[in-house]
Amino acid sequence: MRKTTLLNSNIGSVISKMGHTDMLAIGDCGLPIPNETERIDIALMKGVPTFIDTLRVTLKELQIEEVLIATETRDISPKLYEEIKEIIGQVKITFISHEELKKNLKQCKAVVRTGEQTPYANIILKAGVVF
């Protein structure tokens, strides 16, 4: 039995295989996921699980050094953006367009699909190192 908060075996497996600068995305239920990128679908219904809950739990397991966020997230969903900033702390934020974020999904190890329906509730987490 796992000791950490993250119990999802698919997410845990991807994180355990990640190296420095590898990327993992967490997205809302409408984010288009490229066929070549692993999809970890944890969406159950509208709003379940939330993007924020998924991000919080994922970050208990994954060390990050940078996040990629669409400028649309900051501009159209400012409350969500403020929650993200609070959760990630002093981690570097790189803003890109939503279109660029979708293109970057092809380089992600996986995309975790949540039940979130807040516009632009998407993030790419870039792995850091623990030493």
Active-site amino acid positions = 20
What are the distances in angstroms from CA 10 to CA 7, 24, 67?
9, 12, 21
Check whether 98 is labelled as a binding-site residue: yes
Measured on CA atoms in the order 124, 16, 36, 107, is the torsion positive or negative? positive
Check whether 75 is labelled as a binding-site residue: no
Q: Which residues contact 79 (CB under 8 A, 6 or more apart)?
A: none
Rounded to the nearest 10 degrees, what angle do helices 78-88 and 51-61 cross at? Answer: 20
Check whether 35 is labelled as a binding-site residue: no
Check whether 120 is labelled as a binding-site residue: yes
Q: What's the Rg (C-alpha) of the chain?
A: 13
Check whether 122 is labelled as a binding-site residue: yes
Per the annotation, where are the binding residues? 28, 98, 120-122
Per the annotation, where are the binding residues for substrate? 28, 98, 120-122
